[in-house]
């Protein structure tokens, strides 16, 4: 890259669960990389999404929502949260105008005061709240947040202005990744995430949080992709719920995952699912390591 005006850098998106961090990253890069659902704590990993433009390459890091850990999985998620803002050029603190400021918002802002990295505040969901005072939100921010933007990540309102503001914090630098690359994660990771998204969308209460997905086989053929995946559950009683009558529950998960993955990968994808009970997997370091948590 010979263009001395080209910018390249890293931006991490921090905030409490369910503020729209994943929706914003997907909107910014123009592709669905992070799974989304109306339920909090959908994101369990740090996910890098790469925006490639003629004038810049920005690597966005979508993070798990900030919370107080109650079990080992959430401890691992918070470790990822703490790692996400090391060596980045900009932090986006994200909340929503409906619930701000919650205790978690205030805890995150208190942490940001101590981090010597440029910060921008992003208040989401303006499409759901017509009357609000921008001054109120801005007055709650610490001095570490130099700017505040009010957006709808779902509709795209305010996102172009946010993008231009972010660009001012990205240094002049050659690209870190190939311009064809959308993420540094393998395709099998996205396979397990889309299966997990189906579970979050179709099942309620504790089921989504008690499940994990492990892709055991990812086979690329000339004209299609075959994926074998196992859904982990914590209790035997959850098995008939997720399988459903005559396998209807598994069929819904499979059909959703195949459609999403076919769109994402650009070739037909066939998904085969199995269900396995792994008691207390959220609390066992060995099980979490198998799922990719260090």
Q: Burial, 168: exposed, middle or buried (Cβ in 10 Å; 0-12, 13-18, 19+)? A: exposed
Q: What are phi and psi of 229, to 5 degrees?
A: -135, 150
Which pLDDT score is estimated for 10?
96
Confidence band, pLDDT 50/70/90 cuts, at residue 1: low
Which pLDDT score is estimated for 37?
83
Its pTM surpasses 0.75:
yes
Which pLDDT score is estimated for 65?
79
Domain 7-167 sits in CATH 3.40.50.300? yes
Q: Where in the chain is the domain with CATH 3.40.50.300?
A: 7-167
Q: What is the mean pLDDT of residues 64-72?
A: 78
* Beta bridge partners of residue 213, listed in sequence order: 231
Decide if 208 contacts 242 (C-beta within 8 A): no
Q: What is the mean pLDDT of residues 232-247?
A: 96
Decide if 66 contacts 108 (C-beta within 8 A): yes
In 3D space, the residue among 81, 75, 85 whose CA is nearest the CA of residue 288 turns out to be: 75
User: Is the sign of the CA dihedral 150, 154, 155, 161 positive or negative?
Assistant: positive
Which pLDDT score is estimated for 79?
77
The answer for residues whose C-beta is within 8 angstroms of residue 150's C-beta and 6 or more apart is 97, 123, 126, 132, 134, 137, 158
Which pLDDT score is estimated for 152?
97
Q: Where in the chain is the domain with CATH 3.30.300.20?
A: 187-290
The topology (CATH level 3) of 187-290 is GMP Synthetase; Chain A, domain 3 (3.30.300)
Q: What is the mean pLDDT of residues 257-286?
A: 95
Which pLDDT score is estimated for 55?
93
Decide if 123 contacts 148 (C-beta within 8 A): yes
Which pLDDT score is estimated for 85?
77
Decide if 109 contacts 134 (C-beta within 8 A): no
The half-sphere exposure of 261 on its side-chain side, counting CA atoms within 13 A, is: 29
């Amino acid at each position: 890259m010979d263009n001395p005006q080209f910018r390249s850098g890293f931006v991490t998106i921090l905030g409490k669960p369910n503020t729209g961090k994943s929706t914003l990253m997907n909107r910014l890069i123009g592709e669905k990389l992070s799974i989304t659902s109306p339920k909090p704590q959908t994101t369990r990993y740090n996910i890098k999404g790469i925006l490639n433009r003629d004038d810049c390459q920005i690597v966005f890091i979508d993070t798990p929502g900030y919370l107080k850990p109650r079990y080992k999985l959430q401890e691992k998620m918070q470790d990822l949260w703490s790692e996400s803002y090391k060596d980045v050029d900009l932090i986006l603190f994200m909340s929503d105008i409906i619930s701000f400021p919650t205790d978690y918002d205030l805890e995150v802002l208190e942490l940001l005061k101590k981090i010597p990295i440029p910060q921008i505040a992003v208040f989401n969901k303006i499409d759901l709240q017509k009357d609000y005072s921008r001054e109120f939100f801005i007055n709650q921010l610490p001095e570490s947040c130099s700017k505040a933007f009010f957006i709808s990540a779902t509709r795209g309102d305010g996102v172009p202005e946010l993008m231009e503001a972010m660009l001012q914090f990205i240094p002049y630098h050659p690209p870190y990744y190939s311009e064809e690359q959308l993420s540094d994660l393998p395709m099998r990771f996205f396979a397990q995430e889309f299966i997990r998204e189906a579970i979050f969308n179709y099942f309620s209460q504790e089921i989504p949080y008690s499940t994990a997905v492990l892709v055991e086989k990812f086979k690329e053929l000339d004209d299609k992709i075959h994926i074998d995946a196992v859904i982990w559950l914590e209790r035997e009683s959850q098995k008939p719920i997720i399988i459903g009558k005559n396998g209807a529950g598994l069929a819904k998960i499979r059909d959703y995952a195949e459609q999403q993955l076919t769109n994402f990968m650009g070739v037909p994808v066939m998904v085969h699912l199995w269900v396995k009970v792994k008691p207390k997997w959220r609390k066992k370091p060995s099980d979490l390591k198998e799922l990719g948590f260090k």
